[in-house]
Amino acid sequence: MRSQNTGLKTKKQWVLFITGLIAFLTGAVILGFFGIRKICREIHRQKLLNENPVIEIADLHIKAPILEGTENEVLAEGTGHFTGTGDFGSGNYCIAGHSSTIYKEYFNGLKNADKGMDITLYDLSRKEYVYTISEKYIVDPGETWVLDDFGDDRITLVTCTDDGSQRQIIVGLLKKTD
């Protein structure tokens, strides 16, 4: 009689062990899948930062690659330089970036920018261009005058407002180059 109970107890332990092992392995696979995806995204992000010019606003924890163009495919990867606008440290260098309350976009924190904050650009040779924020305002999407050359050396950042109906504009004037 005692041996039957022992066999039954061992069988229950075995079933519990197998069930626990399956649950553990399932969890490990799920965590591994999402962990690998996160690691791959971070490797891709670092590659973009290493191979392209970079914009950084340290006070807002913004650091993003600057790619050429403002098409959705470009802005899905980083920020985009408006083709035909200024250059690093010269003219009105205009950059667009997505912001969203849902997704982690590069310009999400831009609405918290304040006058006096620094915007730093690094070109491909890692030369540094520092701009100081001088203006912050909102325009309608069709107001492209913000991209015009104003005769000074500035940076203009463009992103959507939270509801996407208008554009948040941040202007910085060139302070120094290194």
- Residues β-bridged to residue 78: none
Q: Which pLDDT score is estimated for 4?
A: 56
Nearest CA to 65 out of 75, 54, 76, 56 is that of 54
pLDDT in single tens digits along all 178 residues of the chain = 455 555 656 888 888 888 888 888 887 777 677 777 778 888 888 999 999 999 999 999 999 999 999 999 999 899 999 999 999 999 999 999 998 766 568 899 999 999 999 999 999 999 999 999 999 999 999 999 999 999 999 999 999 998 889 999 999 999 999 8
Reported as half-sphere exposure (CB side, CA atoms, 13 A), residue 86 has a value of: 22
Q: Which pLDDT score is estimated for 6?
A: 58
Nearest CA to 122 out of 163, 79, 76, 152 is that of 79
The three-state secondary structure class of 29 is helix
DSSP secondary structure, 145-162, as one string: GGGS--SS-EEEEEEE-T
Q: Which residue has the tokens 């309350």?
A: 101
DSSP state of 103: S
Q: Which pLDDT score is estimated for 75?
A: 92
